[in-house]
Amino acid sequence: MDMRKISEEKLALERQRLEGMREFENKYSDLGAVAGIDEAGRGPLAGPVVAAAVILPKDIFLPFLNDSKKVTEKRRDVLFDQIKQEAIAYGIGIASNALIDEINILQATYEAMREAISKLNKTPDILLVDAVHIPGISIKQVGIVKGDAKSVNIAAASILAKVTRDRLMLEYDKIYPEYGFASNKGYGTAKHIEALKACGACDIHRRSFIGNFVCE
């Protein structure tokens, strides 16, 4: 992001906003390395659920970092590269649609989160998690409701998870163009459901999600 194109006033406001998103990082900083965890893709009818874990430097300044749902696609792509470059550590976990069908979406989300944590090249001392508590993890966890808008590390994780999943769905769109995955990312839009009814399910559809639309 070219800082020369951002006014000093806007940068000052961004610093102030992001400082407000460090409340939990500051609260637990004495414990050591703080990681944020978030996921993308719990609701779609197709594709995997993706989780990310991120440990950012304490003094990092990433203008416009926020909950991935509040950031434009173009800005998410920029932040994705910045986060991967600047993070102390990051990990990404993916749970397939087949695993979602086998163990349910919540358990598959936990599995993706555990995988993301396991891929960190630095073990965090505390995990800030968006709303949930991840079973099977011995590291101290703090669940934060709407944490992706309240924690810089969770926001960074939400960006990595969202962009990773969106890019996977773009690749799936090349294989299964009839479902419009490039635009709907697997969510149940009207056109996606029409395609499901007309064409049936493809290999990446979640069978446990589509029973109301497809008889197999």
Residue with the two structure tokens 């936990």: 110
Q: With contact defined as beta carbons under 8 Å apart, do 129 and 151 qualify?
A: no
> For residue 142, which of 125, 156, 159 has the smallest C-alpha distance?
125
- Alpha-carbon gap, residue 150 to 170, rounded angstroms: 29
Tell whether 166 is in a known binding site: no
- Alpha-carbon gap, residue 47 to 183, rounded angstroms: 13
The H helix count followed by the E strand count for the chain is 8, 5
Tell whether 67 is in a known binding site: no
Tell whether 39 is in a known binding site: yes
Q: What is the dihedral of CA 183, 187, 188, 194, to 10 degrees?
A: 40
Q: For residue 172, which phi and psi values (nearest 5 degrees)? A: -65, -30
Residue with the two structure tokens 């550590």: 89
Known binding-site positions for a divalent metal cation? 38-39, 130
Known binding-site positions? 38-39, 130
